[in-house]
A and B are shown apart, each in its own frame.
Chain A
């Protein structure tokens, strides 16, 4: 096996990454279209423009590309639902708010032109001349970078009549939900809409709109250039391609990696991540951001792809990998997470607004040593209600860290309960 000197941290890691989106990271200027063109950029768009819309969508479908924002929906399929209309929009979701996630920032900082090319390919497929990038308010420097990148691409003529505008959010996690994001671009409070109608039919300003994640768009140039079959053959069969992961927490090598989607979770932690920090033992890992499940050691031998993660009750989500060592207090961490959801709940629907409030309240009670078995029962019941009744993914996923830790780390809860104190 090849071993590479990792300049970022100054030690050796196994060269097990598969870099597609990040192949030219730090070797090209992401703002400059010419740099990107020199390494084969904008060839995919050129090819897409020569195809008819139906064949192009078919090609993307055939590649098996599934949404990288967390829901894992087949991208070509999503596009195929767009009905004929005079005006349509392509919207890029760059509102990555899942704690522990920064892969979309990395993709922009290393390869912004691939995102622009991907959006233009989508525009070609669905017949749209206008794209919006909704960038989270925490990344004003990425907004500047993207505006320069767009200006450079426009100047070089590669985008032709496809326009891209960057809009900046203002610190609301819920705006990562596609209809809340649309509301925010329209200048409203970022509250999710009822679905259906889905954005593909009735989205931004009421017209058909395709919303995809940064990473999804950035895959498209490579799919078009190398062919759908090439992409379909990368990584896991049902969730092909690569995934950019970001490692945080008690890990020796807290950085980003791009791996094939059949890569094992244990290898993410022990090979690429260099193992647990300071020689400590592993306790848990939370994958996919703060709404993800906590995964115990016995489930680490699982590929990271969407469906494999589903079989162990977890989700790939955004690709954040948050590692906790043996000394970490799971109940304390989940209490903090429950505060996050209370803060980020938009308040539109009752199950989420009240549910996240009560989750936080009960978690604080248990964490302070004042809880009882009844509180755990109540949490599980509340979780069930929220999962079924909340309007959007935020409220539905908010209890997952709680239920997954009660399942796998129940002893940590019980040792804090009153009756066992």
Chain B
């Protein structure tokens, strides 16, 4: 596992780049660990409270540990009318967890999201930000089984 200090140092030359550092940390850990958040605050010259304020403002950043695969269900209006409710229920049933939770084996986290900009093929879920098009409750087991 890469060192969080190196990851943050890689972004330090970007003015105001704390959000970019959080992205880089999430690419490695899927969340922003506490010690990395403290280090980022120090490197970018802001208080820990401010860094925490930034990390918790944005939906795509998390200070809580998340699974290897983050499944996001879009629930904006175009996906809503295309049956997002049934899809999210199928995801919850298949994984045996609710939205916001992570499976016991640390493999999957379910999150809700607003529009991901792929409205030509609703409803849409994303798996670690990769969109999956025209999903349905029936297709969910196959889609999730392919995550290894």
| Complexed CA–CA distance, A347 and B126 (Å) | 27
Stretch at the interface among B71-79, B92-100, B102-110: B71-79
Contact between chains at B58 and A138 (CB < 8 Å):
no
Stretch at the interface among A100-108, A114-122, A367-375: A100-108
Expressed in whole angstroms, the minimum distance between the Cβ of A382 and any Cβ of chain B is 21
Partner of B77, one of A99, A188, A205: A99
Partner of B114, one of A97, A102, A170, A189: A97
| Complexed CA–CA distance, A240 and B75 (Å) | 34
A169-B58, A256-B120 known; A322 vs B129 contact (CB < 8 Å): no
List residues of A (310-324) whose CB comes within 8 Å of B's CBs: 320, 322, 324
Contact between chains at B114 and A99 (CB < 8 Å):
yes
Contact between chains at A187 and B113 (CB < 8 Å):
no
Interfacial chain A residues near B78, Cβ < 8 Å: 99-100, 248-249, 322
Partner of B119, one of A97, A188, A190, A254: A254
A100-B78, A336-B80 known; A187 vs B118 contact (CB < 8 Å): no
Interfacial chain B residues near A256, Cβ < 8 Å: 120
Q: Which residue of B is nearest A185, CB measured?
A: B16
Q: Which residue of B is nearest A255, CB measured?
A: B120
A167-B19, A172-B58, A187-B17 known; A138 vs B117 contact (CB < 8 Å): yes
Partner of A100, one of B50, B60, B76: B76
Is A263's beta carbon under 8 Å from chain B? no
List residues of A (50-96) whose CB comes within 8 Å of B's CBs: 96
Contact between chains at A290 and B77 (CB < 8 Å):
yes
Interfacial chain B residues near A339, Cβ < 8 Å: 75
Contact between chains at A189 and B76 (CB < 8 Å):
no
Contact between chains at A170 and B77 (CB < 8 Å):
no
Partner of A138, one of B23, B46, B53, B129: B129
Is B59's beta carbon under 8 Å from chain A? yes
Is B135's beta carbon under 8 Å from chain A? no
Is A328's beta carbon under 8 Å from chain B? yes
Is A198's beta carbon under 8 Å from chain B? no
A255-B120, A324-B81 known; A340 vs B76 contact (CB < 8 Å): yes
A167-B19, A254-B119 known; A190 vs B114 contact (CB < 8 Å): no
Q: Which residue of A is nearest B57, CB measured?
A: A189
| Complexed CA–CA distance, A99 and B76 (Å) | 6
List residues of B (44-76) whose CB comes within 8 Å of A's CBs: 44, 46, 50, 53-54, 57-61, 75-76
Contact with B along A148-190 (1 / 0, CB 8 A): 0000000000000000010111111100000000001111111
Interfacial chain B residues near A139, Cβ < 8 Å: 117
Expressed in whole angstroms, the minimum distance between the Cβ of B79 and any Cβ of chain A is 8
| Complexed CA–CA distance, A254 and B78 (Å) | 11
| Complexed CA–CA distance, A138 and B46 (Å) | 26
Q: Which residue of B is nearest A102, CB measured?
A: B117
Instruction: Please count how many residues in chain A sit with their CB below 8 Å of the partner chain's CB atoms.
Output: 50
Contact between chains at B80 and A105 (CB < 8 Å):
no
Contact between chains at B20 and A105 (CB < 8 Å):
no
| Complexed CA–CA distance, A55 and B82 (Å) | 50
Is B143's beta carbon under 8 Å from chain A? no
Is A308's beta carbon under 8 Å from chain B? no
Is B116's beta carbon under 8 Å from chain A? yes
Contact between chains at B16 and A187 (CB < 8 Å):
yes
A138-B116, A254-B119 known; A168 vs B20 contact (CB < 8 Å): yes
Q: Which residue of A is nearest B55, CB measured?
A: A170
Contact between chains at B119 and A248 (CB < 8 Å):
yes
Contact between chains at B57 and A98 (CB < 8 Å):
no
Is A224's beta carbon under 8 Å from chain B? no
Contact between chains at A184 and B114 (CB < 8 Å):
no
| Complexed CA–CA distance, A254 and B118 (Å) | 11
Contact between chains at A187 and B77 (CB < 8 Å):
no
| Complexed CA–CA distance, A312 and B112 (Å) | 34
Is B22's beta carbon under 8 Å from chain A? yes
Q: Which residue of A is nearest B80, CB measured?
A: A336
Is A246's beta carbon under 8 Å from chain B? yes
Interfacial chain B residues near A102, Cβ < 8 Å: 117-120
- Provide 6 A-B residue pairs closer than 8 Å at the C-beta atoms, listed in order of the A residue: A102-B120, A171-B113, A189-B53, A189-B57, A248-B78, A324-B81
Measured CB to CB, the residues of B under 8 A from A are: 14-20, 22-23, 44, 46, 50, 53-54, 57-61, 75-78, 80-81, 113-122, 126, 129
Measured CB to CB, the residues of A under 8 A from B are: 96-102, 105, 136-140, 165, 167-173, 184-190, 205, 246, 248-250, 254-256, 286, 290, 320, 322, 324, 328, 333, 336-337, 339-340, 343-344, 346
